[in-house]
Amino acid sequence: MLYSEKVMDHFRNPRNLGTMDDADAVGEVGNAKCGDIMRIYLKIKDDIITDVKFITFGCGSAIASSSMATEMIKGKPVSEALQLSNKAVVEALEGLPTHKLHCSVLAEEAVKAAVKDYYDKNGIAYDKEQFKQAPTCACGE
């Protein structure tokens, strides 16, 4: 089987799926050409992520990666969410096929994009190096 039970569970029963009208921050990453687009919504109170939602247009691995990433940052300080890595998402999902690893990278980048949006909206200083993105699209776009 290509996918772990964890991946299949998060694909079939995604956690934190949906939009958030009153979000404190929104991060969107992806590329329409390769089909994976992730949007993460954050609700933040006293520097803690109190709620998180996501909408992902993409394959099962993209949906599972988004779902797992939201579970991993919910209830955590913003600074801790910023440390989320695609490797941690893959480990939590008990692996992804090599050709689907870019989905976990998109999940990491969507979280970072949402945190950056929060920092920008609230005038919070940050190191711009933390938010540099490498191209993640497998189609090379």
* The one catalytic residue among 34, 59, 137, 139: 34
Rounded to whole angstroms, how far apart are CA atoms 30 and 4? 24
Catalytic residue status for 137 = no
* The one catalytic residue among 59, 103, 137, 139: 103
Start-to-end C-alpha separation, the chain: 30
Q: Could you count the other beta carbons within 10 Å of the beta carbon of residue 87?
A: 12
E strand spans, the chain: 25-31, 36-45, 48-57
Catalytic residue status for 59 = no
Active-site positions? Answer: 34, 103
